Amino acid sequence: MTLIESVSLRRVLDSRGNPTVEADVLTQSGGFGRAAAPSGASTGEYEAIELPPKEAIARAREHAVPRLVGSVHAGNQRDVDAALHAADGTEDFSEIGANSAVAISMAASKAGADVLGAPLFQHLGGTFRDADRSFPVPLGNVVGGGEHAADATHIQEFLSAPVGAPSVAEAVFANADVHAAVADILDDRGVAAAKGDEGAWAPAVSDAEAFEIVDEATSRVEDALGFGIRFGLDVAASELYDADAGVYRYGDTERTSAEQVEYMAELVDEYDLAYVEDPLDEDDYDGFADLTDRVGDRTLICGDDLFVTNVERLSRGIDEGAANSILIKPNQIGTLSDAFDAVELAQRNGLDAVVSHRSGETEDTTIAHLAVATDASYIKTGTVGGERTAKLNELIRIAEEAV
Ligand X SMILES: O=C(O)[C@@H](CO)OP(=O)(O)O
The only residue of 105, 325, 335, 356 in contact with ligand X, by rule CB under 6 A:
356
Q: Using the 8-state DSSP alphabet, how is residue 283 labeled?
A: T
Three-class SS state of 141 = strand
CB of 236 to ligand X, least distance (A): 5
Rg of the chain over all Cα atoms, to the nearest angstrom: 20
Residue 201 φ then ψ, to 5°? -65, 140
Among 5, 22, 198, 387, the one annotated catalytic:
198
> Which of 2, 42, 260, 335 contacts ligand X by CB under 6 A?
42
Q: Please tell me whether 341 is known to bind a ligand.
A: no
Site for ligand X in 133-152 (CB under 6 A): 147
Query: Annotated binding residue at 387?
Result: no
The set of residues, in sequence order, having a beta carbon less than 8 Å from that of 149 and lying 6+ positions away, is 194, 195, 196, 197, 200, 202
Angle (deg, nearest 10), helices 98-116 and 366-373: 70
389 forms part of the interface with ligand X (CB under 6 A): no
Contact yes or no for 279/248 (Cβ under 8 A) = no
Any contact of residue 81 with Mg ion (CB under 5 A)?
no
Instruction: Please say which residue, 186 or 379, places its beta carbon nearer to Mg ion.
Output: 379
Considering only residues 293 to 332 of the shown chain, the ones binding ligand X according to CB under 6 A are 304
Which listed range, 61-69, 84-92, 122-130, 357-365, lies at the site for ligand X (CB under 6 A)?
357-365
Alpha carbons 341 and 283: distance in angstroms, whole number:
22
Kindly state the smallest distance separating residue 401's Cβ from ligand X, in Å. 28
218 binds ligand X (CB under 6 A): no
Judged by CB under 5 A, which of 177, 281, 304, 352 binds Mg ion?
304
In contact, 238 and 45? CB cutoff 8 Å: yes
Stretch that binds ligand X, among 39-47, 101-109, 182-190, 254-262 (CB under 6 A): 39-47
The CA distance from 313 to 306, in Å, is: 7
Q: Which of 110, 195, 329, 391 is catalytic?
A: 329
Strand ranges across the sheet with 253-255:
241-242, 247-250, 253-255
Element of type H or E holding 234: strand 230-234
Residue 230's DSSP bridge partners are 161
With contacts defined by CB under 5 A, name the span among 175-183, 197-205, 230-238, 318-326 that binds Mg ion.
230-238
Residues in contact with ligand X by CB under 6 A are 40-43, 147, 157, 198, 234, 236, 304, 356-359
Q: Which residues are catalytic?
A: 198, 329
Q: Which residues are annotated as a binding site for Mg(2+)?
A: 234, 277, 304
- Residues forming contacts to Mg ion in the complex (CB under 5 A) are 234, 304
